[in-house]
A and B are shown apart, each in its own frame.
Chain A
């Protein structure tokens, strides 16, 4: 007598395997090509390169590169679709469920066959890679089995996600679509909200460019964070490879992913158990998901559409903030209603969806959309007015033309105060248009918790004759703060501006070639001078530049992108400096987050690349005295250069 509670059906299992084994074999061949074969090829080719890897390095390097969450993601959905394809065809669905096999057996037998075909190739790859490692004298294969663990954990998560997606719909294409959506759902939702935020939230104008990959976007998080991190160790000169380090990232998250995968499998089973089979080929088969899908998709897509339309209209019009908000609401609601009815049509598989009930839910949806947009408008989440507390900040940065990073408490407090002043004047500032002459000012804080807070404001030129006194009073302290000589030297030239060697000075003499009507440049090679004489010249120019900085005539940041072409020279000028302490970290590297990368290497140089102007008397005199140029005829302002070269 057949058990009423069997979880496994041999006939179904054999049938499943007969349809998926080829995919398993192909997956194994792909993994084998990438790992054991790849490792062997790397080892055999290691001698051909200047950087000589040991077999252990080759293995670790390979394992760190062959780690892509997209492989198991794609492979698992293919297996799931093949195994449970009967769910999407009326004929197959009716027949398979009329066989003496329960849904429980069908589900768990299907799951079992997917698990086997998905995981066996990974384990076999692990075994063969281990064998290759042993054969090449590498006996620590923890990294190989950590890679296997990453793949298995990912597979379990994606199995849960794929079966959950498949139980929500009666169509193959929709199942794949849902699977993709669930993998990127949080990312897309955040992106939508950031797009709206960049338009409507003061200080968040660049929010759309600053997306983090969180564990809620598993396929990307696994790819970038759950991995074997492989780093080379070089000697102090950075010339010889002396070893490597490897760390295993994301073990905790992988454990959580596995648990989530199991929960999703349970939910998928419950959905299957209670699934009405007459819903085969329906867009959505689970009733309570239908309104969530309609409203969710309509809302997130419509806010993006609304924002894009208004941004496009704003390109040639100087809309005030209030007008932008009103238009965004209008276009969001219109596009939302259209999308809402399209989703209803998809769900009902008919274009006849006009009913009082649907109209009422559409009105409800529109009200929810307006409420959300009003919450943004009135800064319910305190995003616009937020500035971090001093004690929580590790460093604060300002970027106008060059990023500056401050770690001193009093300077951090000044940065916070400068941002607060801008926030206080937001009613005026948020009406500025990107077409006005101005620039983007970024405030960035690294909190002690490891999080960063970034706000960006478009500030127009603070010419007191044009702008309001309030605006002038807001922005003048900001410019005064960044334009002090000491801050310029420390934060723009570099923290070792006074502990460095001048390595090179470049200055182009310019000649007008009447025949060709071009400006030809020429750099003095100093071939007749000794090294000491050249170094003396370099040092003198650098000292003169510092004097000009002290005089406040160079490196002065403004809120205007317009250059004073009548006074700024076209001649190229650059001073390269080598810090005496090789572990120098520039403000730029800190501000842009380069130091957070595991492969970050200190730059070991500072660069003074700035256009000189006619007030840089000290620098120009030094350049002339040390024969970087010979006559004022070789100096051309931008205006002169543009007029001569027809720019």
Chain B
């Protein structure tokens, strides 16, 4: 559904996006992760039609996004810093969205509103708390019945219950209507729960883009202990990182997990455990090669 091909964007001398490629399938929940300054918000602004790329193409359903009213009426964006009109209350905003988005469902809006009983619909939105403003933004976005929802740090500022509520609403929309979601977040634990695809960004590029399952099985954490020193690993094993504590060694191995497991088992370790990696660990280890690894701090 989303195709970003060789997009470059410069802000003066600074290269914000560097020949970036990204692809999101229809119906996917795509998590965009990366360190601060990686370019996540910049690519999201391109996808929302705010920025125009210096080169490359930003397409949704094969059409360029920039200045494409018809296309943009089929998706909604929730930026990290949400905009509401001065003096407007939730109902005023609802009327605005209703006229902006042809598929806007007012009944659905009021139905969703029942999920947020604490929200005063007649109070000026700008006077609401940040969390409540996010709730309003989600209510409006979901009621617009988009085919694609682009979210930049969507649940920042929401309490855990409200986060769950929001995500369950989105997941329901994904399940029922095949909604595609592109979400950027620093909260990798949360993304791990909801995303089926992940793209890791750094320095204006996508370093890695694949399904979460594939990602989690392509990197393996193996804990081993040997009687004596650890023998050298076979050359075909792509070792990302090795941490040794006494005779226990933790190996982060990239590539086919079964082959690595078999090769290490053949080295006759005293004990060997194969552990799953969290998204957060994958993020840290993948970016290790990009000079972004968490450094060991020595006091």
Contacts and interface: CB of A to CB of B under 8 A. Distances in A.
Interface stretch (B28-36, B71-79, B172-180, B256-264): B71-79
Given A10-B99, A15-B96, A100 B72 contact: yes
Interface stretch (B44-52, B226-234, B287-295): B44-52
A14 B67 CA distance: 21
B102 interface: yes
Contacts of A19: 85-87
A4 B86 CA distance: 28
A234 interface: no
Interface residues of A, number: 32
Contacts of A425: none
Contact of A101 (B77, B87, B100): B100
A103 B45 CA distance: 15
A95 B69 contact: no
Nearest to B47: A98
Nearest to B73: A100
B11 A101 contact: no
A94 B70 contact: no
A1 B68 CA distance: 12
A15 B85 contact: yes
Given A2-B73, A102-B69, A94 B48 contact: yes
Interface string B63-106: 00001111111100101011101110000000110011110000
Interface SS of chain B? loop
A3 B73 CA distance: 11
Interface string A91-118: 1111111111111110000000000000
A642 B48 CA distance: 86
Contacts of A15: 85, 96
B42 to A, nearest CB: 9
Contacts of B73: 2, 100
A95 B83 contact: yes
Q: Range of interface residues on chain B?
A: 20 to 34
A97 B48 contact: yes
Interface in B34-61: 45, 48-52
A308 interface: no
B79 A98 contact: yes
Contacts of A101: 69, 72, 100
A316 B259 CA distance: 96
A11 interface: yes
A95 B82 contact: yes
A97 B49 contact: yes
Given A1-B70, A2-B69, A2-B70, A97 B100 contact: no
Nearest to B45: A94
A317 interface: no
B79 A91 contact: yes
The 8 closest A-B CB pairs, nearest first, are A95-B83, A11-B99, A98-B48, A100-B73, A100-B72, A98-B77, A91-B81, A97-B50
Given A2-B73, A100-B69, A100-B72, A94 B83 contact: yes
A582 B99 CA distance: 74
A44 interface: no
A530 interface: no
A3 B69 CA distance: 8
